[in-house]
């Protein structure tokens, strides 16, 4: 397969823009010595000349702004804290994300994608925002926060809107391969 733009999470790379022959890697870097996180964008081919800027927010959030022929768009790459993290850390993450989304030009198309560590269900209450194509039937607490975030920012969860076979909805697998979940999403 040939990809022009790819959002990567848990890259464990330093904050850097690395230019190679036919592609570039834009990385959000490390804040700790543990080398656990990091978000990056892989951009290749013709798309490189349309990149206007790359913004590092922290090791879990970065933005890439590009210009198309008739409009500009900003890609927001995230790696949300997992459910096992403290509530304060997740709140801090959400506040930082919302603050940075509000700084993006209102005329830009905003596409948020990445590892939300959130399970979205098929509850009828949320259908206008999430659709009906989730892998799960019930939304977990992180999923509810994610849906509320989407609603408050005028976003729709597109990864659960369009029909796919269940096997193609799975984005995370346990180490033993017995459990699969849909925790990566696109808004």
Q: What is the pLDDT of residues 55-65, one digit of tens each?
A: 988 888 999 99
- Fold of the domain built from segment(s) 1-82+109-115: Deoxyribonuclease I; Chain A (3.60.10)
Q: In this predicted structure, what is the pLDDT of residue 88?
A: 78
Q: In this predicted structure, what is the pLDDT of residue 66?
A: 92
Owner of token pair 């796919």? 164
CA quadruple 43, 119, 161, 133: dihedral sign? positive
CA quadruple 123, 126, 132, 135: dihedral sign? negative
pLDDT digits (tens, 9 = 90+) for 69-94: 899 999 999 988 876 667 778 888 88
Residue ranges covered by each domain of the chain: 1-82+109-115, 116-187
Pairwise CA distance, residues 10 & 178, whole Å: 22
pLDDT digits (tens, 9 = 90+) for 98-155: 899 889 988 999 999 988 888 888 898 988 988 888 888 898 888 888 899 889 888 8
Residues 6+ apart with CB under 8 A from 169: 133, 134, 135, 182
Stated pTM of the model: 0.85
Q: Among the listed ranges 9-13, 58-62, 126-130, 160-164, which one has the minimum average pLDDT value?
A: 9-13
């Amino acid at each position: 397969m040939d990809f022009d733009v790819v959002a990567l999470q848990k890259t464990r790379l330093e904050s850097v823009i690395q230019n190679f022959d036919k592609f570039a890697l834009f990385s959000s870097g490390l804040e700790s010595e543990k080398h656990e996180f990091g978000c990056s964008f892989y951009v290749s081919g013709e798309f490189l000349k349309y990149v206007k800027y790359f913004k590092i927010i922290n090791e879990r959030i970065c933005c890439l702004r590009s210009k198309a022929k008739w409009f500009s768009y900003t890609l927001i790459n995230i790696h949300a804290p997992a459910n096992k993290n403290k509530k304060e850390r997740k709140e801090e993450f959400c506040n930082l994300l919302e603050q940075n989304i509000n700084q993006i030009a209102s005329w830009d198309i905003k596409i948020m994608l990445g590892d939300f560590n959130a399970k979205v269900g098929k509850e009828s209450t949320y259908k206008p925002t999430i659709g009906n194509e989730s892998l799960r039937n019930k939304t977990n607490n992180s999923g509810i926060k994610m849906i509320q975030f989407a609603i408050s920012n005028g976003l729709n969860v597109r990864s659960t809107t369009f029909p796919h076979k269940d096997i193609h909805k799975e984005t995370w697998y346990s180490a033993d391969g017995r459990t699969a979940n849909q925790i990566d999403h696109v808004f």
